[in-house]
Amino acid sequence: MRKLVLAACAMVAGASSAWASDDTDPAEQSVARKDRGEQLAAERVAQTAKLDDNSTKRASFEVATYADSDHVTVFTPSIAASIENVVQGASLRGRYIIDVVSAASADVVSTASPRWNEVRNAGSLEATYKPKTFGVTLAGSLSSEPDYFSFGLGSEMTLDLNEKNTTLEAGFGYGHDEVGRCGAENSPAATVQTCTSFGVFSRVINRSSFNFGITQLLGAATVGAIVADIGIENGDSSKPYRYVPMFAADVAASAPLGASYAWVTANRLPERPLEQLPLSRNRLSVTGRLSHRFDGSTLKLEERVYGDNWALFASTTDARWIFDVGKRVGIWPHVRFHAQTAVSFWQRAYVSGPAPGWDLPVFRTGDRELGPLWSGTGGGGMYLYVGSDAEPQKARFTVQVDGMYTSFLDDLYLASRSGVLASLAFQVEL
């Protein structure tokens, strides 16, 4: 009934409009027709634009947890969203991540401190515009902890050549970190409430990075890429909580690998200075990636070689072989191997002179990741498409579990560490 009334009203309105226009001046009718034509054209453009809204919107959620034999646990939920329009060449991506860290590691125990808890919030935003063969990406990121604040800005340009068989990329990034301090003297961070204001105590680290890369199609099923990263850091990155034990020369020579906290306490000298690292660091890494699609599986390989002016050299190899198991499921094994040398000023046990001068080594550290080590990772993952029959890949669950083992080759407190990293992610295309 309501439709009938509306239809009748429309007919009456149309008839009266026609009658009215018949009674007007021809010049006015011409203007009215022109206005009506423009209106119709605008409506058509709007409808066309609506029909051509071929942007792809994605949202994802991931929750991950890490635990190791050094009594460190990390719980990491994150969300991400993106919108991408392939036709216009524009995309926007954002991510927000939280790290909830709880630690009673050797580093914490060696300072006679209780279990340490901390939350890190981090977000990033990235926009790309690539209408044809040339594209520009602008990116920004922010990270905040009670005793550490950091932001980064960057830009990258890409150029497609030879019908997209080759893509060149070049980028620049700048980062600014402020290192603060929480907790009482001689202890690591305790709680947010006891943190010293950044205005009272902070150290600044400025980071610049440059990257140059090339991606090349190597066949109808193979793509390779190589990228060089240069990093320049200026500032004092020494940990304000890390105290380095000092030893007499004869004791240092006999310090056993992985010496216990009790052994160190019984044999060290009274002086225990804070860590001191060099105030600048230049890094260079070259990363190569290769992906090949077989019939029913995809192999992905990555190799990174790294060197810096602290004399740390490293190699990292990562491999993942993804096997299709039906239309909706894929599984893969994953292995990763990392090995590195120590920085030039690394010592298992540092030697200092007698009191009162002590004659401390200029540079000293207890950061195990600056010492010689190797680590192996092994595990796997599975994806499950849960979208419609027509487009199953529009919604996906991914689960990954990796076991990690690290051997510290020349360290106090710890000779090895085992850990597990597990993650569950869900991504949907809206």
Partner 1 sequence: MTLKLSLLAALTALAMGCTHVAPYERGKLAHPTMTDELAGGPAADHVYAVHEGATGGGSIAESGCGCN
Residue type, 89: G
Count, residues in the chain: 430
Tell the smallest beta-carbon distance from residue 245 to partner 1 (Å): 18
* Segment 178 to 197, residues that bind partner 1, using CB under 8 A: 179
106 vs 269 by CB, closer to partner 1: 106
* Segment 297 to 336, residues that bind partner 1, using CB under 8 A: 298, 300, 302, 304-307, 312-314, 316, 320, 322, 324, 330, 332, 336
Tell the smallest beta-carbon distance from residue 132 to partner 1 (Å): 15
Contact 142, 150 (CB under 8 A): yes
Q: Binding partner 1 by CB under 8 A: which of 91, 113, 167, 427?
A: 427
Query: Which residues have CB under 8 Å from 51's CB, separation 6+?
Result: none
Residue 429 binding partner 1, by CB under 8 A: no
Residue 375 binding partner 1, by CB under 8 A: yes
Q: Binding partner 1 by CB under 8 A: which of 74, 244, 269, 277?
A: 74
Residue 293 binding partner 1, by CB under 8 A: yes
Torsion angle defined by CA atoms of residues 302, 305, 306 and 312, in that order, rounded to the nearest 10 degrees: 120
**21-29, 97-105, 247-255, 349-357 -> range binding partner 1 (CB under 8 A):** 97-105
Residue 104 binding partner 1, by CB under 8 A: no
Q: What span, in angstroms and rounded, lies between the C-alpha atoms of 290 and 298? A: 10
Q: Binding partner 1 by CB under 8 A: which of 110, 113, 158, 340?
A: 340
111 vs 216 by CB, closer to partner 1: 216
| Angle (nearest 5°) at CA 198 between 196 and 200 | 70
Closest by alpha carbon to 155, among 138, 132, 140?
138
| Cross-strand partners of 317 | 303, 337
Mark 229-248 with x for binding to partner 1 (rule: CB under 8 A) and - for no binding.
x-x-------x---------
Other Cβ atoms within 10 Å of 408 Cβ, number: 21
Other Cβ atoms within 10 Å of 112 Cβ, number: 10
Contact 172, 154 (CB under 8 A): yes
* Segment 2 to 61, residues that bind partner 1, using CB under 8 A: none
Residue 82 binding partner 1, by CB under 8 A: no
Tell the smallest beta-carbon distance from residue 255 to partner 1 (Å): 21
Q: What span, in angstroms and rounded, lies between the C-alpha atoms of 144 and 17? A: 65
Mark 136-175 with x for binding to partner 1 (rule: CB under 8 A) and - for no binding.
-x-xxxxx-x-xx-xxxxxxx-----xxxxx----xxx-x
Q: Do the strands 222-235 and 246-247 form a parallel or antiparallel pair, or are they unpaired?
A: unpaired
Tell the smallest beta-carbon distance from residue 256 to partner 1 (Å): 23
Other Cβ atoms within 10 Å of 118 Cβ, number: 20
179 vs 269 by CB, closer to partner 1: 179
